Amino acid sequence: MIENKKNKTILNKFTNLKTWDLKWLISDHKLKAIKTNLNIQKNVIKALIYRELKTRISKVRFGVFGLFIQPLGVITVFLFIFSFLRGIRNDIDTALFLTVGVIFFTLFYEIAIRSLNSMQANEALFFYKPVKPIDTVIARTIVETCLYSIVLIIITAGIFFLKEIWTLDQVFIVTSSYLTLSLFSFNFGLLLMVAGHKYPIIKQIMPLLNRPLWFTSGIFFSINQIPPGIRGFFSWNPILQSIELARNGFTENYIIDPSIISYRYLIWISLFSTCISYWIYTRNEKFLLTR
């Protein structure tokens, strides 16, 4: 009897609610569900970041410092070799010129190209419902972005200290170019993950495209050194755009043509690729998890 009375009072209160009250309750319920899902995804990404770091640390010597020693060593060797080949530049220090090119391209490669095999590498994790394929790419993006930002800071600080120069005219341009390239790399990596899982032949084609991409991204040359006839074609490359903008951010002596190198273009291509990659991923998420 008591329970029936309670149920009647609850029903009476519910029926007395106005339409806007019902809408508020429904929207509040949806907001709580969204918050819950976001918290779950946040915890999953944290766990994946921890797993990624733990796996990397276990593969290298010197623990956490080993994470930085390997990329620092590789990039330093590149700089040492190509600094002699490139000679002295008048607009920007040669070592700084190459540092920006090598680190920015490596960031793109480690996030985007390596995401091609992320489904296969993390296959065991997808038995847990909270873990989604996109979470693995997000975790990789965060790890690589933080890792290579520290590498960039260490190498540039070393160049400034050894050569007794300080050229950092526009910190915002350097930082935003780096982060925007990171976002574009994430989007491209998400597309490659879906495409590589759906069409395995792409895993064989992509390694063949790495070398042309390496040479067309402006790592060892500026866009001003490219013949004017094909300069516009090269400028479609977002990696080259971010590298050129970052070099100009370090020193304004490094002149870029605003009609070819545009920060607005880099932003728009990153936002456009975000929409496209997320749309393609959501349409194929079930396929990724069921196959």
pLDDT band at 40 (very low <50, low <70, confident <90, very high): confident
* pLDDT (0 to 100) of residue 6: 46
Residues 105 and 243 sit within 8 Å (Cβ to Cβ) = yes
Tell me how far CA of residue 287 lies from CA of 77, 204, 232, 273, in angstroms. 43, 21, 38, 21
Outline where the chain has alpha helix (H): 2-16, 19-59, 64-86, 94-108, 118-121, 133-163, 171-198, 202-215, 228-234, 238-250, 263-290
What span, in angstroms and rounded, lies between the C-alpha atoms of 113 and 90?
A: 34
pLDDT band at 85 (very low <50, low <70, confident <90, very high): low
Sequence-distant (≥ 6) Cβ neighbours of residue 78 within 8 angstroms: 98, 102
Sequence-distant (≥ 6) Cβ neighbours of residue 148 within 8 angstroms: 71, 103, 106, 107, 110
- Of the candidate ranges 41-45, 177-181, 259-263, the one whose mean pLDDT is the lowest: 41-45
Residues 242 and 266 sit within 8 Å (Cβ to Cβ) = yes
pTM of the model: 0.83
The DSSP-derived string for 66-77 is HHHHHHHHHHHH
pLDDT band at 246 (very low <50, low <70, confident <90, very high): very high
Query: What burial letters (b/e) apply to 58-72, b meaning 16+ CB within 10 Å?
Result: eeeeeeeeebbebbb
- Of the candidate ranges 29-33, 119-123, 203-207, 284-288, the one whose mean pLDDT is the lowest: 29-33
Quote the Cα angle for 251-212-191, to 5°.
Answer: 90
What span, in angstroms and rounded, lies between the C-alpha atoms of 40 and 240?
A: 37
- Residue 225: both structure tokens together: 């050194």
14 pLDDT above the threshold of 50 = no
Sequence-distant (≥ 6) Cβ neighbours of residue 220 within 8 angstroms: 82, 86, 98, 101
Tell me how far CA of residue 272 lies from CA of 108, 187, 244, 269, in angstroms. 17, 9, 21, 5
Query: Count of CB atoms within 10 A of residue 258's CB?
Result: 8
Spans of all domains in the chain: 28-290
Three-state SS string across 120-168, please? HHCHHHHHCCCCCHHHHHHHHHHHHHHHHHHHHHHHHHHHHHHHCCCCC
Tell me how far CA of residue 27 lies from CA of 13, 24, 35, in angstroms. 19, 5, 12
268 pLDDT above the threshold of 50 = yes
